[in-house]
A and B are shown apart, each in its own frame.
Chain A
Amino acid sequence: MMRKKPVDFILFALTWLSIIATATVLILVVGYVLINGVPHIRPSLFALQFTTQNQSLFPALMGTLMVVGLSLILAVPLGVFSAIYLVEYAKRGSRFVKIVRLTTETLAGIPSIVYGLFGFIFFGVFLGWGLSLMSGAFTVSIMILPLIMRTTEESLKSVPDTYREGSFGIGAGRLRTVMRIVIPAAIPGILAGIILAIGRIIGETAAIIFTLGNVARMPNNLFDTGRTLSAHMYALANEGTHPGEAHATAAVLLIVVILINALSSRIARLIKAS
């Protein structure tokens, strides 16, 4: 007992050190962004038009929401249903499942700039969509597909088999079991994956600039170009002429991310309660 005490203490101290370090970094980043950004947030930043006089971030904010919305519409059903197939229908441990899994894992490891290049060439040039909302959303949805698939798979696997047995045991078929028992039980995990995906989309710049473009206006239709908040910030920071607006954009971006997270967990709770 006595001999173990110093080890205990060291581990305890290390644990606390890690917690403090993590929290400090988080507080520093958030604090830095907010302190530098919030004073620069003015109503004019939310003007409908971006002009050289007024660096409005509103078009970029809208662009962000559009890209997020559209790519989720594309990627979530595809990712979730593929995962359901892999976990619930495909033979466990079959060759096919292994190949699909290898593919998704590889996709997840590819740098985003490569996606951007691919999207630019395939959607923009080959399909002739140019720099547009469609090119951007498709590219980004391919990027987040592996993420959504993996998290959905994991959350489906974490649903205890006893639930499935209970449902089969009462004479329910596989479809009903999956729809009524497995998916509801897996929803929180699936939503967590979607939140992560949203985070990745919002933070993306390279792939977006290559495919959506970086024009400071709101896309008028699916094949129109635009920019997202991250791209907007990149542009402002790159030019170096509007550091205040860049900081304000960062603050808004942070707030948007926090809001989306809060909203998602709210939705998750509502679904769980019903």
Chain B
Amino acid sequence: MMRRFDEQLAILNDMLLEMGAMVEKTITVATQALQTQDVGLAKKVIELEDDVDQKEKDIEALCLKLLLQQQPVAKDLRLISAALKMITDMERMADQAADISEIVVMMNRVPYIKKLEHIPQMAKATIKMVTESIDAFVRKDLELAKAVIEYDDVVDDLFDLVKHELIELICTDSSNGEQAIDLLMIAKYFERIGDHACNVAEWVMYSITGKQVK
């Protein structure tokens, strides 16, 4: 027979999974909007972000309830405290996806100064990190979590690449400036999403080992 507490923890697990899927979707849709310059799609991201916010509040409430009711210790305590920290990071990721979409809306279908190449790669890399950090949590997979943290270097390198390309574009033609800065901000948002995915992976590691990763 499953204890009530274990049942509640299973529910928490499911909710985290759902939130992870929602965040992934938010980032994916934002990326599509960016590539196709589809304003309608971009506006949809902002709606998705609201749902993520709601999910965060629900999970937070459940965690607080469990802390209060069960006064968890050991792995239960680590699981719940990790969940509380993880959802903050996940909510920030969705926020950043929304920020990207807002820029897409603002650019209002002005043609790109250069075919997007590395920014979509960054998007792909960050989505992979998000997916894997959630997977690591569900499967309690320490190695996968470590891999996510290491993969952040890929995103960082891509960001540097994008930055240099944009600087060159501005140098060749200063009228590229406005869009170049918009694109730089988008790249920065993806880079931040990668950082948050890293944080999630770190909390996953904490909940497995009990050691705080700095």
In the complex they form, whether A and B have CB atoms below 8 Å apart is answered with: no
- Chain A residues in the interface with B (C-beta under 8 A): none
- Chain B residues in the interface with A (C-beta under 8 A): none
